Amino acid sequence: MRKTILKVLLSYFILYVLQFLIIPLFYDEIIGGGNEATAVLCITTVIITLIGMIAFSDKLRFWLLGLLFYTALIFLYTPEGAYGIGMWGIDLDGTHSHYEPSARYIVITVVVILVLLIQLSVWCFVKLLKLIKFIIRKLKK
């Protein structure tokens, strides 16, 4: 059980490194939020979560525990404005959003809730796949 939890935590660490350390170096469109940032956040979360749930464990309680670790990592370091974290204001009619450190907490909460919803969807998908696989095996016997 401990090895499984460590593997899930490793999955979250890889997700964090990918989303907040590697991708911001190569892809500037995630700074300030927007559709591209949301797409990158969602796609990387789906891929890492799907691989982790298939390879390591699909127990939701382990993934919820790992989400706390992921949230702590985001609080420790986030590139300024990545995925809209810390951005305040609306880019509309000549006004521009700006980085406001106090706004970090609100957007981090939104990002974590988004990741949680994505992971719940992936978890349901994995459980459905396992159920279909079980039914097919029973029908073959």
From first to last of its 141 residues, the chain has per-residue pLDDT tens of 789 999 999 999 999 999 999 998 888 777 776 788 889 999 999 999 999 999 998 899 999 999 999 999 999 998 887 887 877 766 666 666 777 777 788 889 989 999 999 999 999 999 999 999 999 998 987
d(CA 20, CA 11): 14
pLDDT at position 50, please?
Answer: 94
pLDDT at position 43, please?
Answer: 95
